[in-house]
Structure 1
């Protein structure tokens, strides 16, 4: 199982009861690349790109998306994560309310022909108001996996980022004004991944980024929070330029004899989620499996009309 959100200190006033479900906020998680049940040509620096609808609200709530890619044949492992507190350290830019979260499996060679599985987890801290008790939980609220294939005979797709993304899952919170959301159970709304479809300027920006030669004109025009004069340079730009073939290139490539390794992004070993469910609410052609798991952190007890404040430290409530 991928790592849970790190917990340090969480301060909560006992009067901070969550609002009624009059102003819900829906956050949808979509996958731009790699899409499940899709065959791609081999490439250097294979990207991992999520789209997060209602990204500003997700950032207010705090979130973490952990991902892993494992090779079924051949052996391969790479991992990374996105988090609301690392927004400025990665390619995380918004267009309207859609956030594009781009990472890479870069390890210095081509990803070999074979079958692969992308596993992902969306984690956040949630609250449940039970009247006399505020239950605080953190951990995975959505999880899943998709399978895709890489070939080296040129028969796969080279067009990586176009078309509608793949729907992975969604959460709906009762009131987006609360910093600790209360989730609406079983009411995630209708999947609409095409709302996160990337336009030509966004695709041009992302392709140039993964080649290590970012087209800042395209990026400035494509995303709200990239401004003229900004510099958006991928961490592995120099290595990518040397490698000869990059994500989004349409040039022919010779099969690689490279080795399987891990991304420099933070990651962990893979195991099955202890309480993973499967869901049938995915869009057509989607082989993702979504589940809901949470780990309780603590509870604030509010007897009578007393107004109490509590500090929750690693699951212990101190008064």
Structure 2
């Protein structure tokens, strides 16, 4: 374990130095120092969490609980990041209901399911750390399996690796994931945008169809998770970071039982529309509407009254 302690200790001096500089430098330079300190700390905490994950994954697989590997590592990353950077995500209660199905913690307990979320920056890894349900695995590009520590942990913890350049292997990965979902009741989390948007507005990139094909193939629900735009916390383009708490809303599960491949487009549109509407609402709740009109559910003209009804 000495090497792990050394890995944790080495970045401490530059991080402390950068944080000190953030207090004494002019505003723009202070922002850059704070961003650099955050970046170094995040990388360190990811290595620590992934290293723990390698050991935890092996141990959990030996006792028959391999499906919990990513959940336990997610929680380690959540708390180490909160203690060292002051940033975290929280699931807020959602009053939204559809067909008797509720959002929030009730939707998070759906199993098995395909969870989908909007993808803003690298910080979304922490969003997973704070919200990940038990018995859930992520999907990732196949090249990540060769990254030291992180790739080792992911390979041991039932990550669904996908080679987007090869349709045959990608299809085989989804076939295997669908079978695992049915036989082991394992959830899968996918960012349907496929890449990070780095946006400072309440908007998303177009969705890809993979998550929806998988849900229909496995005949499991889609559970949308909407993370509020957090460019006021982390703005990668402008190299800005400020500690804070970011809201995540979990919408009611969307059933797919009885659907076929012909229903993929309609399922995708329904999911994206509901997530976009919730993303705009969250931007108003946080006070950062960015000019986007507030979605209306009742036709009430007063925005404040409508917001209270939807919150």
The TM-score bracket by the shorter chain reads under 0.3
Higher relative contact order structure (alpha carbons within 8 Å, sequence separation ≥ 6)? 1
Higher strand share goes to which structure? 1
The TM-score with structure 2 as length reference comes to 0.27
Higher helix share goes to which structure? 2
